[in-house]
Amino acid sequence: YDGRRGRRSVTGWTVERAAEELLRAEEARADRGRLTDEWPELDLATAYRVQDEALRRRLARGERLVGVKLGLTSRAKQRRMGIDSPLTAWLTDAMALPAGAAVPQGRLIHPRVEPEIVFVLGERLAGPGVSAARALAAVEHVCAGAEVIDSRFRDFSFALPDVVADNASSAAFVLGATRLPPGGLDLAAEAVTVEVDGAVVHTGTGADVQGHPAEALALAANSLAGRGLAIEPGQVVLTGGLTDAVFAPPGARVTLRFANLGSIELDGG
């Protein structure tokens, strides 16, 4: 497949067809096998083109781009998914849940919840060459986040190009109410516990995300720069799950308890 010229692969796959199929799987709540099984030539650059084409279609149907997320930035997530490269993906307003909302089971396939440290930018951040210090200087405030991921691939089984094409399993996210300027906080030491129905199932700290969440923010800016893109003021950046994600079945209650950033409670729905 020649991604730049948009030629059809020998297997009949195109960027447009892959984006359409993944969006259809999401809308129909129908999980599917790996794209890379059917389209073995799918490389990383082409997978990002699929991700961008799906974003273009979301915007065309009225969604608004609100930010960027990183995926697979912690060893806990990398080990679970069997992939050791971080990736970026897009967040739109349709994915934002109000505080206190339940997991939107009715539109999801097999949702899982994970704790995140989230930055909201005050300044434009454009790579390449962005350091963690420069990245942090562009942050307006930091808050806790709960990301609800929902892979369109059966059993969350994917290779790196699959999950890139699938917008890093994005489905929904909720932000904590506590917003702090990043300066006064030791974000590497910021601890979180993940509880399901009152029992602690995971613990982590900000250092689990690339050594420091600001490293993940810099990574996002630098990797987007490779595609001529930047992170804009007001945009939200989810820096990646600090711990492995937990299933959130109907009736369950997930509590993410951060040391300084407050707590987020999510009902399984």
Give me the residues paired with residue 254 across strands.
Answer: 196, 266
109 binds ligand 0L1 (CB under 6 A): no
* Structure-block tokens of residue 76: 């806990």
Among 72, 125, 142, 194, binds ligand 0L1 (CB under 6 A): 72
- Between residues 9 and 213, which has the closer beta carbon with respect to ligand 0L1? 213
Least distance between Mg ion and beta carbon 60 (Å):
25
Q: What DSSP letter does each residue of 81-122 carry, written as one string? A: HT----EEEEEEGGGBPPTTPPP-GGG-SS-EEEEEEEEEES
167 binds ligand 0L1 (CB under 6 A): no
User: Using CA atoms, how far apart are residues 166 and 21, in angstroms rounded to an integer?
Assistant: 10
Q: Where are the beta strands (DSSP E) in 2-111?
A: 65-71, 87-92
User: Using CA atoms, how far apart are residues 215 and 135, in angstroms rounded to an integer?
Assistant: 8
Contacts of 82 (CB under 8 A, 6+ apart): none
User: Using CA atoms, how far apart are residues 96 and 238, in angstroms rounded to an integer?
Assistant: 12
77 binds ligand 0L1 (CB under 6 A): yes
Of ligand 0L1, Mg ion, none, which one does residue 151 interact with (CB within 5 to 8 Å by kind)?
A: ligand 0L1
* Structure-block tokens of residue 157: 């089984």
161 binds ligand 0L1 (CB under 6 A): no
115 binds ligand 0L1 (CB under 6 A): no
Peptide bond into 128 cis (omega under 30): yes
Write out the binding residues for Mg ion, residues 134-153 only, by CB under 5 A.
147
241 binds Mg ion (CB under 5 A): yes
Among 149, 165, 196, 248, binds ligand 0L1 (CB under 6 A): 149
Pairing mode of beta strands 191-196, 253-258: antiparallel
168 binds ligand 0L1 (CB under 6 A): yes
Least distance between ligand 0L1 and beta carbon 240 (Å):
4
Least distance between ligand 0L1 and beta carbon 70 (Å):
7
The residue range among 145-153, 212-220, 226-234, 258-266 that interacts with ligand 0L1, by the rule CB under 6 A, is 145-153
Contact 201, 71 (CB under 8 A): no
In the DSSP assignment, the letter for residue 184 is G
Least distance between ligand 0L1 and beta carbon 209 (Å):
9
Q: Which residue has the tokens 């890093």?
A: 168
The residue range among 71-79, 94-102, 136-144, 215-223 that interacts with ligand 0L1, by the rule CB under 6 A, is 71-79
- Which residues of this protein are in contact with ligand 0L1, per CB under 6 A? 71-73, 77, 81, 114, 147, 149, 151, 156, 163, 168-169, 240-241
- Which residues of this protein are in contact with Mg ion, per CB under 5 A? 147, 241
